[in-house]
Each structure stands twice: as structure tokens, then as C-alpha cells.
Amino acid sequence: MTRRTELLRELAAGFAAAGLEAPEREARALVKAALGLSDLDLLARGEESVAADEVARLRGLAARRAGGEPLARLTGRREFWSLDLSLSPDTLVPRPDTETLIEAALEVFPDRSAPLRILDLGTGSGAILAALLSEYPAAWGLGVDLSEGAARQARENLAPLGLNRRAAVIVGTWDAAISGRFDLVVSNPPYIPSTDIPMLDVEVRDHDPRLALDGGNDGLDAYRAIAESLPRLLATGGRAILELGIGQEVEVAALLAAKGVPPDGPARRDLGGVARAIVTMAL
């Protein structure tokens, strides 16, 4: 029988050989997720044995991780804004950088009791919509995604959080199937230029859906579509908050300004200092 500590050392060594940046941390995270353990379990019961079938399963998962498959894809789960979300092949893995959009929303709408109408364009896993609804208990939200699989996954994430009573998710192309106006429009759109996708890290290139990555020749196709629709979608006093790719602030700001919804100032920066969330002026 293989003890937990031995398995951790084995997996960490394999991850180090594969060039992962934090092999010990990766090994602990994989063992915890796969076996349903806590940090305390690993610390206090590290000498306990792992069944042979579980060892084989973990070695298989470790081989996939060493080959570049993200841990979140292996476990099928990811935390975002302290919410536990499930994933599918049709959705991006939510990233901490995207939490900058939630922080920006809380800044421009500080009243948590406000009955906001929220629209999430390209909702994916529903991470942004779920986070906003959790912060604004009187709000109602609509998520839209071109992918039926992503829309289904968003619904499945909203339901166990008890947010499905205040939300709907539909399949559609941006605002094509939407009427009415919203206080807050948010989006993490596809913004990678098509020619750059083959150069992305393997974790993104081979495991995130291309539909959620490909922003067209210059990476700005989705921003053009969204900027065109915002004057019709935003209510009086409404704001839009859009995630940006690296180096896109100036171009996206110009697109928004040309449609009468200019930014309210510099984009909010993420923890890495990247201009990540652009916020429009209130209508």
C-alpha cells in the first residue's frame, strides 16, 4: 500500500520534472481534490495508506496535469469570488483576474441593497453573474451565451447557490434576443486575436473552448458588437464593465466613446497591474 506522504512526494517529483512552477503545491492540491481531503487531513493523517485503485487514478490525473491540463479541468471545479463552481468543456476556467470586474461593480454601485437589473454577455460558467447576484441580494440577472453547453453549465452553477430564482440564462448572440434595459452590463468577451491562439499556454490553448477565446483578427470583434448595443441596453444611470486583454484599453475605450458610452476614467487594474476592467460613464 502507498502512504499519502509517499504519493505526494511521487507526484511532486513528476510535476517538477514536467516543469510545473510549484510542484509540491500542485501535488497537494491534486491529492486533496481527488481524495476529498483537507490540509489538516494531509498534515495529521499523512501516513495513512491510499487504496490501490485511488493511487492508479491519481497517477492518471497527475500525468494529465503534467501534460498541461489545468487542475480545474481535472477536478471539474473552480472557486471564484469564494463561490464553488463546476466546469464543463464548454466554459472557460474562471480566473482571479476576472474578479476585478466584481470589485469595479461594487465601487460604482456601492448600495448592496439596490434592485439592479444585471446583464452578463457571454456568461460562460456564470461566474460573474453568480458573484454579482451574491453581492446584490435584491438584484435580478440575465446571462447570455452563444454556446448551449455554456448556458446549461451556468444554470447548473446558479441553482445550488440558490441564485436561479433571481436569474435566467438564455442562448443567443450578444443582445440579439434581448429587450429591455439594464443597470449593469458586464462581459468577459473573447479577446485573443485569432493568430495569437496557437501561441497561448497549453493550459489555455488546448483546454479552454476556442469560442470563448477567439476575438477575431485584432481581438476586438466582441467589443465592437457590445459597444454597438450598449446605448440600447443601458438604463438611465446604467454602467457597463468589460474585461480587457493585455494592451487593449486604448482601442476599447475608443470603440466605446464612438458609440456614446465613454469610459469613466482609466481601467481598473488587476493584482498583476494589468488594465483589466473598463467601466463606462453612467448614461
**Residue 123 counted as an annotated binding residue:** yes
Contacts of 49 by beta carbon, 8 Å cutoff, 6+ apart:
1, 2, 3, 4
Q: Read off the pLDDT of residues 136-178 as tens digits, 9 standing for 90 and up.
A: 999 999 999 999 999 999 999 999 999 999 999 999 999 988 9
The answer to whether 122 is a known ligand-binding residue is yes
Q: What is the pLDDT, as a whole number, of residue 97?
A: 96
126 annotated ligand-binding residue: yes
Contact 23, 67 (CB under 8 A): no
Q: Is the pTM of this model over 0.75?
A: yes
5 marked among binding-site residues: no
pLDDT tens digits for range 88-134: 999 999 999 999 999 999 999 999 999 999 999 999 999 999 999 99
145 is in an annotated binding site: yes
The reply, when asked if residue 124 is annotated as ligand binding, is yes
Question: What is the set of domains in the chain, with CATH numbers?
Answer: 2-67 (1.10.8.10), 77-279 (3.40.50.150)
Please tell me whether 223 is known to bind a ligand.
no
pLDDT of residue 255: 98
From the centroid of its chain, how far is CA 208?
11
CA 189/CA 123 separation, integer angstroms: 9
